[in-house]
Structure formats: structure tokens, C-alpha cells
Structure 1
């Protein structure tokens, strides 16, 4: 039973992450130049709030609802980071920054965070369906 769970959820989360990442990257590439860079401050603020909320939840609350807010909020947040990071990488490249390792690492971390959150969402939906 656990094998069927792994065989269906992991590929679904991976394909979903690829679809989200690919479509948002293309949207950022075809958008007007520097139109998504304003998101940087909001995204960093949101990330700080998610981290503080998660620590507060672990230490004091232990609420499942706050955990769900972290998972869904983090998914939305990292979708915004894909838009922001893609346009930031293009701007940095146009200004002469050719550090492709750092650029690819930024996008890889965005992809991993989206994949991880989709995996948690799909696993919790599967668990609810089984019960």
C-alpha cells in the first residue's frame, strides 16, 4: 500500500512542479523587462513571516491549521520567487553577471521548495482520501 502511494504521489508532484516552474519561468521571460522585480521586498517579507510563524507554531501552538497555512502560503510564495528570480537572473546577465552556477542554484532551490510543498499537499489529500 505504501508502494502505491509513493508511485503515484512523487511523479504527480514532480510533473506539477515542472508545469508550475516552466509556466512561471516562461511568463517571467515574456513579461515586460523588470516588471516583476518589485516583488522582491514582498517575497522576502512573506518568507520572514512564514519562518517566524513556523517557529512560533513549533514552539507554542502545534496547530495543524498553521502548518497548512505554511504549506499553501509557501507554495504561493515560491511561485512568486520563480517569477522574481527569473527576471533578476535575466537582468543580472544583461549587466554582465555570468555566474551561471549561482543563477541555476537560485532556480533549483525554488523548484525544490515547490516540489516539496506539492508533495506534502498531495500526501495529505491522499491520507484524507484513504480515511
Structure 2
């Protein structure tokens, strides 16, 4: 409870400090770190485009599934075990992992397109806006201000894993499924803030591995996008069912 209380106290303090001067907090980020962040976000954009290509390939050839998930995990492990000086190889492995990940999410994207293509567009825009806003909030905040939330978020991930394990064994209700969706969305939005500040802090201490940092943010982005898309699809299907019942 003390952690949650300190979190809300810090939020109120941050709001009271918010002004034009708070935007100048970016000055505490050195030019080297700023250049590193540019590389990270540029590579993140490339991974998102590659992931979209992977999803498109699934729509064309129906390749997404368990094997593409394994392929994505394999490429990530290979990339993380590759030395940093082999930069081109690591970037190529990240692109391959993104393509496999896009193909794995492809069935969900295909379902959204078949149901209503506007839902897919709205989910992506919503995810991009949320990701951008929380990343910007982490940048303009004081250094290390939100890093302590990492422990709470790790506990949240553990809760989600145990819930999924229990659901696989004993089955689950619709209420539990909704809780997992919304709680998971909250957790990964929090990870955007924590991971952004963690990347900045590591860069200040000389860790300029932009490939690994782009992978971290890519994972957060996909996790948020998938949950937003599922939530929007579910809400749209429920509205459609209600309309059919009214007509009958």
C-alpha cells in the first residue's frame, strides 16, 4: 500500500510541477543519449513496418501460427547472444523476429479486417498515441522517477501468468478474461514508462545497445496493440449481437 500511496503522491507532485519549464527536462538528457534515443525509435519504426509485412504475408499465405512464434523467439535469443559489434547481423535478426511476430499476430489482424477494417486502424492509432504519450511522459519526468514501478509491474506479470495457468487447468469465465485483458493492458502501458526511463538511464551509463532497446519497446508496443485490438473487437461484437437481438 505504501508503494501505491507514494506512486499517487508522485503523480500529484508531477502535475503540480507541470509547466513549460517541465519540457526543458529534456536538457538533462545528454546529446549522446538523445542521439541514442533517435536510433532506438527509428529502429522501432522499422521493426513495426517489418511486423506489418509479416502480418500481410500471413493474410496472403496463411503462415502465422505456432512455428512463427517459435521462429520469433529463436531469432530474439540468437540476436541477444550475438556480440554487439556484429551490428548488421543483430539488426537483421531483429527484423526477422519482427516479421515472425507479425505473422503470429496475423490471424487476429485478419479477423479484425474481416469483421471491420476500421477497428484495426483505430486500434493501431490508439496504441501509437498511448505509446507516444507515455514515452514522452517518461522522457520529461525526472530521471529514475518511475523506475521503482518495475517491481510492481513484475508482480503484475506474475499475476497474469498464474491466471493464465489457472485458466488452462480449470477453465475461466468471461469476467476473468476481461480482467486479464484490461489488467494486462495497464501493466504493459506501465512498462512503456519504466522501460523508456530504464533505456535512458542505461544510456547515461554507457549502454548504447540500440538494437536491444528497440526490441524492448517493440515488445511493449505489440503487447499493448494486441490487447487494444482484442478489446475493441470484443466490444464491437457485443454491440453487433445486441443489435441483432433488438431486430429479432
Residue number in structure 1 paired with 2:232 = 122
2:129 matched to 1:45? no
Q: What's the C-alpha RMSD, in Å, of the aligned pairs?
A: 1.2
Q: Deviations over 1:23-56 (max 9, x none)?
A: 0000000001100100111111110111111110
2:101 matched to 1:101? no
Cα distance in 1 for partners of 2:187, 2:206 equals: 28
Higher relative contact order (CA closer than 8 Å, sequence separation 6+):
1
Structure 1: state its 5+ residue gaps: none
On the 8 A contact 1:85/1:106 being kept in 2, the answer is yes
On the 8 A contact 2:113/2:120 being kept in 1, the answer is no
* Larger Rg, first or second structure (1 or 2): 2
Residue number in structure 1 paired with 2:127 = 17
State the TM-score, normalized to the length of structure 2.
0.51
On the 8 A contact 1:54/1:67 being kept in 2, the answer is no
Q: Deviations over 1:97-128 (max 9, x none)?
A: 01001100000000000000000000000001
Residue number in structure 1 paired with 2:139 = 29
Structure 2: state its 5+ residue gaps: 1-111, 242-248
Equivalent positions of 1:72-83 (< 5 A) are 72-83=182-193
Name segments (4+ residues, structure 1) moved above 4 Å: none
